[in-house]
Amino acid sequence: MLRMNSIGCNAVDLDIMITAGLRAHSCIRSILAGATLCLALVGFEPYSAAQAAVPASTQNANRVEHPSNVQLADPKIETRVEHLLRQMTIEEKIGQLVQYNDTGDASAVQTSVAPPAVVKPRAMDALNPVSANHVNAMQLAATGRLGSMLNTVGAQRTNTYQHLAVDQSRLHIPLLFGADVIHGFRTIYPVPLGLAASFDPELIVAVSNMAAEEASTAGIRWFYSPMVDISRDPRWGRSVEGAGEDPYLGAVMARAYIRGYQGDDLSKPGNVAASVKHFAAYGAVEAGREYNSTDMSEITLRQVYLPPYRAAVDAGAATVMSAFNSLNGVPASANPFLLNKILRGEWGFNGFVVSDYTAVMELIYHGIALDPATATRKAITSGVDVDMMSHFYDTQLPGLIRSGEVSMDVIDEAVRRVLRVKFATGLFEHPYAEGVEVTAAVAGHRPLVRRAAEESFVLLQNDKLAGGAPLLPLSPASRRLALIGPLADDAGDMVGGWGSAGEESDIITLRQALAERAQQLGGTLFYAKGTKIDDVSQAGFPEAIKAAREADVVLLALGESGRMSGEGGSRANLDLPGNQQQLLEEVVATGKPVVLLIFSGRPLVLNWAAKHIPAIMEVWFPGTEAGHALANVLYGDVSPSGKLPMSFPRAVGQEPLYYNQLPTGRPPTGIDLSQPPSGEARFVSRYIDVPNSALFPFGYGLSYSSFSYQDVKVSMTSIPLLRALANRSTPLLEATATMTNTGERTATEVVQCYVRNLGASIEQPVRSLKGFERVTLAPGESRQVNFPLGFNELSFFNLESTPTIETTHYTVWIGGSSLANQEASFVVVSPTRDGDSR
Ligand code: BGC
């Protein structure tokens, strides 16, 4: 069950896409032909020789002064790279920049470089270069004209290709095998959005390292992960692949993934190279619609969207994937501002950039290239080193080099970047899959992925019942349980949309786990599916109602399928799909206490449930150990500790909705927004039909215990501006609070520290997360928590795109969510003439 992207996923999808693509193709071809003709008539050449003659030094402004990855800058590697580069033909160099998936035809493999095929590239053929252009990846590998492969998995398959490259190609350069291992290879942990809810970077290091170990036994040495796109709009299906709406949390998670995948040495067996994606600002696609465009100010880009990518690059990420979207009118896969200026120039990134799937070809659809040659030139000179699947670099670069439109320097530099990663990962020494191949979920990894799932669950509501106790954890007296809903026994959907190579047969569903419990505890479990995830038939309702009536407590497992989020999974509605809402209402009408478990890849609108159901828990897609983890939390063996990484809205129309908004000139302070406006209450920033706030905000999540916060303080109330500006590496002050477990059981709480900066030259968010910590306390136990605040936490980007601090006022809150209300404050002051600070 290897799940691939929308184009690579399965034959049926592929056929549909090809047909659609070819239809669109004839249309685009006539548009292109027409456009070229018009331009010719007005005497304008689509591409002029003058443009072509960009000096090599300008095309290749990529010298890296302070390399982001020290291992890639190792002089020993450099010597090997140069030695190899000197021996390579132009075809072999271009080969390193080409990537295809598994399109091998062993019968056609020859060991010599065939004369260049006469290829007449057509724009739409590239959508499926494999079939439309008869690409034979085996032939390419054997003749040194393929550098890397995607989603070709398994020791046998990768070794077959690797032998062709290593044994038969002239220079024996190994292939690099990349794959979308997003949240586990065979042993699957929660989807990244769920993992982010754990606020536990050490956990992320552990699970991602585990995935790297498993996948490398199948020949995979490169992950297209982590996706670190900030997503403030849950309509965007790919929200599930990232860490949600907050740049600080996103950056912490990004660093953790890189540590987990790459370790401290890329060449160590079991470590893989990471590809940070999708650079950049893909998460801000307009209206949350997949593959749409992004438009934002440079300040928002730098302050909100770039920090997680930056964190990943600083942590040494070996590769970056350029995104599908355009940013302010320039597609990210031909964007010198993003790739050359920021990524390489400012951040010193010294790995290589791979395009997203056919993103080079898509430059034609973006309308910035009229033909494949222009798309290719724009992509490579903007800093895209490797062409994933477009069939453009291999067909277009030879001509572009011959005509001088792309200099050999640009090609050589791109090849160097690829070779550095290949040397650093130790591929030349260990080209083949090693160790015993992991082909199923690993028993020894189950406890870790179970813990990851337990930490990912977010308890949204847990009201007290008539007897005075909250519904969760389940009381031992509730011996008769009804388990209802399409996700209660659905193994496939426990792995979400990117389950990599996880097998359904390895997955423990909630039904299985609760049946085990019922047996241990001597209780009874009634199960009824009730309905399908997205269906109109109510045929299963009566059985579900009957099960509910017979039970003491009902557990409802509702939500989305894995495929409803992820790539191509944008939704305009955020409610429960199909007739699940009706099922929910009918079950609640039985009067039985209901626990609602929401499986989803994004925040949903849960207004009705929040009004009528005592206990609600968001459980995302929990992975291989889904059932056991859920049972452990439902029965109280583990107290929930997850916090929301994205705000849950009250209505789709509020989107994009996020806690760290900019202020408005008409804040609705002191106005009851739950009532329709009258009089003055209308002329504030508000909706007339729904409150502004989230139903469940960022950072929110309950526990089976409770926590209080006292004595929020700062270690300095006044900081001299010069000191704040001069000191970039050590904290300027510390914010502290005393927290106490006021409940009756040991539990873990994610303490959060938020900051607001008032009085700056650029308006700043109403609050921003600047620190968090998971703290476990016994009942009655107290602890002081400390959050160091320095330049990174207190600075903002000014109009010159420079991070700075000004003489302003700061408020700090410490508490258990973005609604934390215990505060302290301090000021940054300017020096006076006598040297004092005021
Ligand atoms: C996705 C990427 C993925 C790539 C390779 C693309 O369609 O956007 O996230 O890594 O395919 O499968």
DSSP structure string for 571-626: -S--S-STTHHHHHHHHHTTT--EEEEEE-SS----HHHHHH-SEEEE-----TTH
> Residue whose CA is closest, atom 2 of ligand 1?
356
Question: What is the pLDDT, as a whole number, of residue 115?
Answer: 44
Q: 743: Cβ–Cβ under 8 A, 6 or more apart, which residues?
A: 703, 704, 705, 706, 707, 779
Ligand 1 midpoint to CA 337 (Å) = 22
Ligand 1 centroid – CA 766 distance (Å):
35
What dihedral angle (degrees, nearest 10) is formed by the CA atoms of 376, 377, 379, 381?
150
565 Cα: distance to centroid of ligand 1 (angstroms): 14
Q: How many angstroms is it from 4 CA to the middle of ligand 1?
A: 8
CA of 310 to the centre of ligand 1 (A): 20
Buried b (16+ CB within 10 A) or exposed e, 320-335: bbbbbbbbeebbbbbb
Task: Tell me what pLDDT residue 119 has.
Answer: 44
The first and second tokens of residue 450, run together, are: 């179970």
Residue 224 CA: nearest ligand 1 atom is 10
Tell me how crowded residue 393 is: count the other CB atoms within 10 A of its CB: 29
Is 356 catalytic? The answer is yes
Ligand 1 atom with minimal separation from the 241 CA: 9
Cα(589)–Cα(583) distance, rounded to whole angstroms? 10
- Tell me the CA–centroid distance for residue 356 and ligand 1, in Å: 6
Listed residue (196, 273, 259, 272) closest to 456, CA to CA? 196
320 Cα: distance to centroid of ligand 1 (angstroms): 12
Helix axes 541-550, 580-588, angle to 10 degrees: 30
Using the mean position of ligand 1's atoms as its centre, give its distance from the Cα of residue 647 in Å: 26
Q: Closest Cα to atom 10, ligand 1: which residue?
A: 224
Beta-carbon contacts of residue 833 (< 8 Å; ≥ 6 apart): none
**Which one-letter DSSP state was computed for residue 758?**
E
Strands 524-528 and 480-484: parallel
- Cα 592 to chain center, whole Å? 39
| pLDDT, mean of each 10-residue run, the chain (838 residues) | 40 31 31 31 30 36 75 98 98 98 74 49 54 83 97 96 98 98 96 98 98 97 98 98 98 98 97 98 98 98 98 98 98 98 98 97 96 97 97 96 98 98 98 95 98 98 92 93 98 84 89 96 97 98 98 98 96 98 98 98 98 98 98 98 98 98 96 92 96 98 98 98 94 98 98 98 98 98 98 97 97 98 97 51
pTM for this one? 0.92
> Which atom of ligand 1 lies closest to the CA of 8?
12
- Is 5 near ligand 1, meaning CB less than 6 Å away? yes
Closest ligand 1 atom, residue 227 Cα:
9
Would the CB of 650 count as within 6 Å of ligand 1? no
Instruction: Provide the pLDDT for residue 302.
Output: 98
Atom of ligand 1 minimally distant from the CA of 151? 12
Tell me which of 233, 356, 412, 506 is the catalytic residue: 356
Q: Could you tell me if 426 and 406 are in contact, meaning their C-beta atoms sit under 8 angstroms apart?
A: no
522, exposed or middle or buried, with CB in 10 Å at 0-12, 13-18, 19+? exposed
- Substitution site in 9, 180, 362 for ligand 1 pocket (most atoms within 8 Å of beta carbon): 180
Q: Whose CA is nearest to atom 12 of ligand 1?
A: 5
The preferred substitution site among 357, 358, 386, 388 for testing ligand 1, maximizing ligand atoms within 8 Å of CB, is 357
277 Cβ below 6 A of ligand 1: yes
Q: How far apart are CA 702 and CA 610, in angstroms?
A: 14
| Number of Cβ within a 10 Å radius of residue 283 | 29
Q: Pairing relation of β-strands 803-804 and 809-815?
A: unpaired
Residue nearest to atom 4 of ligand 1 (CA): 357
Residue whose Cα lies nearest atom 6 of ligand 1: it is 357
Mutation test of ligand 1: which of 182, 222, 279, 567 has the most ligand atoms closer than 8 Å to its C-beta?
A: 567
CB distance 567 to ligand 1 below 6 Å = yes
Kind of pairing between the strands at 823-829 and 718-720: parallel
Supply the pLDDT for residue 712.
Answer: 98
CB-ligand 1 contact for 400 (6 Å cutoff): no
Q: Are 702 and 688 a contacting pair, CB within 8 Å?
A: no
Cβ-proximal residues to 369 (8 Å cutoff; 6+ apart), any chain? 334, 363, 375, 378
Q: Which amino acid is at 608?
A: W
Nearest-CA residue for ligand 1 atom 8 is 356
